[in-house]
Amino acid sequence: MGLLTEGSPLSWEETKAYADHVRQHGVIQFLKQYNKLKERTKDCLYWGDEVEYMLVKFDHQNKKAVLLLHGSEVLHKLQQQQKEHSQDQLTTWHPEYAAYMVEGTPGKPYGGMMAHFNLVESNMRQRRKEIQAVLGTDTTPMTLTSFPRTGCPAFTFPVCVPTPNEGASQSLFFPDSVIFPDHPRFRTLSRNIRERRGEKVAINIPIYKDINTKSPFTEDFSVLGDDGEAQRAALPDHIYMDCMGFGMGCCCLQMTFQACNITEARNLYDQLTPLCPIMLALTAASPIYRGYLADLDTRWRVISQSVDDRTREERGLEPLKKDKFVINKSRYDSVDSYLSASACSDIKLVYDKDIYHQLIKGGVDDLLAKHIAHLFIRDPISLFSEKIHQNDDEDTDHFENIQSTNWQTMRFKPPPPNSKIGWRVEFRPMEVQLTDFENAAYTVFLVLLTRVILTFQLNFLIPLSKVDENLATAFKKDAIREGKFYFRKDILTECSPPEASKCVSSCLPGERLCCGNGQDLYMQMSINEIINGKEDFPGLVPLIYKYMDNAEFDVDTRCTITQYLTLISRRAAGTLKTTARWMRDFVQNHPDYKNDSVVNETINYDLLLECAKISSGEMKYPDLVPVTSSKTSNNIPDAVSKVNNYLDSKSKNLQNSH
């Protein structure tokens, strides 16, 4: 989660009073760094993943599985080890929102070598092993996107009680003591989001209507101490949730890519944007919330609503009086503009005009200025007294404050000050999978796709309004099999003059990538067609194979990648289930399930125990993940020597044949 600054958090009123100060200095800080670093070039194509884990405790006697709130101790031990092995460090550990979560990344970013693709999975396995080693028996680190019974009575160990009338969340279901305790940031965010909005957040997710589900489905919250707010906010036939923890307590799989320069980073940001809904649907893994089967398969809408701090004025429910903008989306949502293609950015972009002009004056171009001025319509939602006054030549905390609380599908990451790190983009929509094999597969698929995009100069751009429509499709149950997604027809061509003439709002001079608004630039396809191709569309997996034909791989790496691509290809084709579909089937076939959408403690226990066995490889479901581990290796020198051997033998063969 971006930068975590230590210190004493200000109250919401105090933070609000400094909002303009933070924005003003944030923009100055961005401009300083931008002008210093905009010409920076020749950075490597580094990349890395982030995996979030939940600590799950099993009570086998009573058939209960609950979330263990020991994240802080676990993190402390992991970071201690990290310090001791700082030389050849394989893993890095970070705090996350909930006290039952930790986040792990590789010790160093990958990059440059094809053999690195063969390190991802074993590094993920290493991370799981490291967490497991500091946990007690009957406790397991799990890569679950959402815990099925978050917010149900006694869903944690130790058991905590919600405090609806006091504290940060004031939730009927989610106790404040479930928030990560060591750092005040998370609690402060929860409180300030609620206070800024003027009421609790309201998360409503359509419930899956089974034959015995109460109809209309409604709940009585007065028994939990509701003063009427929940009853008013909860929609019929929806699972209602009321605080940040329900969303930020979900786990995900993120990727960061470094580009060689800012132009390439902007291009990657744009090209990966239309892939966000596709990858969300392909990774769908969260069909259960607060003990009920949902009608959606992914976490995105939960998390988006869980941090929606817009006031009633900003949501357009009341005329603007105190606030500046009517804002169409939560701060956790899809991106609203491309960074290098104006014509395709066809959705209303709300941005701060003063900040935009300040950026233009400071030498930033129109599209990037709009992007930043759009991020800066938000208030800072946490501020620490020690960090109010900064040296704008050196610090970027105010910029990062706004940047890191704009949780969008993609993030454009400028280089940190005084570092070797270059311009990066982050890919944020994916749900985390049960096995390291699958997480590695999605990671490697995406990295290879970036290489394919850059090598073949692919163009995936379609109007952003269509990307947003795709995202809404991606949320849905079984989107992968049933959804149709807008996708660009001809991904191999850039904007040519006849195409440009079809744009309703024409491309700006010098813009390479135009998507046009003409109907015939994109078509609706299934995920299967997008990933595996069809008559008139090459498919992303075949394109990766084509790219691999001309790249140098050792045998093991090629074998591993082939297994990964097979998984993606089969998920797309529907011959393998998504995690969400598998979980639904497990619940619906459970002897305790009464066709009423309820996932009770026993079903939850059996489901999670099975998930834990899938993660460890102890249990195999050929209709979910037929292969659960590849020939992955953790040994970097070994991987390097394998590549060298391969290249040697290849050049010898070449010499022999001459």
Contact residues toward ligand ADP (CB under 6 A) are: 1-2, 46-50, 94, 105-106, 109, 254, 256-258, 421, 424, 426
Closest separation between CB of residue 300 and Mg ion, Å?
15
CA-based nearest residue to 424, from 360, 492, 528, 339: 339
> 3-class DSSP state for residue 598?
strand
Which of 64, 91, 100, 103 is in the footprint of Mg ion by CB under 5 A?
A: 103
Name the residue with tokens 């993606």.
Answer: 568
Determine how many CB atoms are found less than 10 A away from the CB of residue 413: 21
Closest separation between CB of residue 421 and ligand ADP, Å?
4
d(CA 362, CA 292): 52
The reply on whether position 295 binds Mg ion by CB under 5 A is no
E-only strand ranges, 123-226: 139-142, 156-157, 203-206
Which of 123, 170, 254, 532 is in the footprint of Mg ion by CB under 5 A?
A: 254
Closest separation between CB of residue 425 and Mg ion, Å?
11
Before 380, cis peptide (omega within 30)?
A: no
Determine how many CB atoms are found less than 10 A away from the CB of residue 497: 8
CA dihedral 339, 343, 346, 351 (to 10 degrees): 50
Closest separation between CB of residue 299 and Mg ion, Å?
13
Determine how many CB atoms are found less than 10 A away from the CB of residue 340: 20
Closest separation between CB of residue 439 and ligand ADP, Å?
12
The entry of ligand ADP, Mg ion, none that residue 46 binds, CB within 5 to 8 Å by partner kind: ligand ADP
Here's the x/- map for Mg ion, 126-165, by CB under 5 A: it reads as ----------------------------------------
Chain length of the chain? 658
Closest separation between CB of residue 106 and ligand ADP, Å?
5
Q: Residue 511 corresponds to which amino acid?
A: E
Of 46-54, 223-231, 331-339, 621-629, the window that binds Mg ion (rule: CB under 5 A) is: 46-54
Closer CB to Mg ion, 58 or 186, in the complex: 186
Say if residues 45 and 259 touch (Cβ distance below 8 Å). yes
The reply on whether position 337 binds Mg ion by CB under 5 A is no
Residue number of the CB closest to ligand ADP reads: 48
> 3-class DSSP state for residue 628?
coil
Closest separation between CB of residue 369 and ligand ADP, Å?
23
d(CA 66, CA 154): 8
E-only strand ranges, 64-182: 64-68, 91-94, 101-106, 110-111, 139-142, 156-157
3-state SS, one letter per residue, for 507-529: CCCCCCCCCCCCHHHEEEECHHH
Of 4-12, 19-27, 247-255, 633-641, the window that binds Mg ion (rule: CB under 5 A) is: 247-255
The entry of ligand ADP, Mg ion, none that residue 28 binds, CB within 5 to 8 Å by partner kind: none
Closer CB to ligand ADP, 399 or 593, in the complex: 399
The entry of ligand ADP, Mg ion, none that residue 421 binds, CB within 5 to 8 Å by partner kind: ligand ADP
The entry of ligand ADP, Mg ion, none that residue 424 binds, CB within 5 to 8 Å by partner kind: ligand ADP
Note the residues at the interface with Mg ion (CB under 5 A): 50, 103, 254
